[in-house]
Amino acid sequence: MDYHAFLAAWPQVYLGRGLADDPHLCLTFDDGPGVVTPAVLEALDQLGVTATFFCLGEAALHRPDMVRAIVAGGHEVGSHGHSHLDLRQLSAEVFARTQVLPSIRALEDITGSEVTLFRPPYGEISPAQVEWLASEGLTLVGWSVDPQDWADPEAPGHVSRVVGEITRKLHPGAIVLLHDGDDGDTSRASIVEILNELVHPLRHKGYTFVKAGHMLRRRGVAMTT
């Protein structure tokens, strides 16, 4: 996803980063809820951090209690599509009918709250699909820091590599891409250790942790709270 191109064309539809006027950042989690989500929620609670979770509709229907736990923990949920597809292969009509609307309906039925945030799998989306999101009042959320935490999460040194990547690329208003969804038999348990090693040093540097909705409100985009 080309952040600059999307921001220029759709400044009120696309959020790729927050304002750079103070050191704040948003942790986001894709592909869940998964097996590791309860441990992620427990770690975030202990650390006093709220985050944004982009849930797959299929995963949400499989683990509705986890979606409710995300919201109960003070976090927010957005749609990551119904299944994890490269959406560019779909027409805007099929994109809406098979991926966005079913996932949003599932999340809203589970949480009882309106869902207005959408992040496409792989960050890939077509201009026609962006136009449809705009027509429906939905916000496309990207990221500005991708530490590739999904890559070989059981490898030695994985935690220090991911924490180092985030720290190196971090900037005020950063949106950090992380994952809590299942990936076959691969364990994503290391995400909890990543959070435990990441949060306190960043707080010491003056960073605060906010949700994507907070960034939108600060940018002046009307959004249901």
Q: What is the pLDDT of residues 94-117, one digit of tens each?
A: 999 999 999 999 999 999 999 999
Q: What is the CATH number of the domain that holds 91?
A: 3.20.20.370
Adjacent-strand bridge partners of 76: 52
**Is there a catalytic annotation at residue 30?**
yes
At residue 2, the pLDDT reads 61
At residue 22, the pLDDT reads 86
Question: Residue 31: which H helix or E strand, with range?
Answer: none
**Is there a catalytic annotation at residue 146?**
no
The answer to whether the peptide bond before residue 121 is cis (omega within 30 degrees of 0) is no
CA distance 25 to 13: 19
CA 186: distance to chain centroid?
Answer: 20
Contact between 70 and 41 under an 8 Å Cβ cutoff? The reply is: yes
Q: Total domain count for the chain?
A: 1
pLDDT band, residue 225 (cuts 50/70/90): very low
Q: What is the pLDDT of residues 132-156, one digit of tens each?
A: 999 999 999 999 999 999 999 889 9
**Considering the chain, what percentage of its residues have pLDDT values greater than 90?**
83
CA distance 16 to 75: 19
Contact between 73 and 44 under an 8 Å Cβ cutoff? The reply is: yes
Q: Which domain holds residue 23?
A: 3-223
Q: What is the pLDDT of residues 16-28, one digit of tens each?
A: 999 998 899 999 9
Question: Which residue in the list 30, 31, 149, 180 is annotated as catalytic?
Answer: 30
Question: Residue 216: which H helix or E strand, with range?
Answer: helix 212-218
Q: Is the pLDDT score of 11 beyond 90? A: no
Q: Is the pLDDT score of 166 beyond 80? A: yes
At residue 61, the pLDDT reads 98
Q: What is the pLDDT of residues 199-223, one digit of tens each?
A: 999 999 999 999 999 999 998 754 4
CA distance 139 to 46: 30
Question: Which residue in the list 75, 80, 179, 214 is annotated as catalytic?
Answer: 179
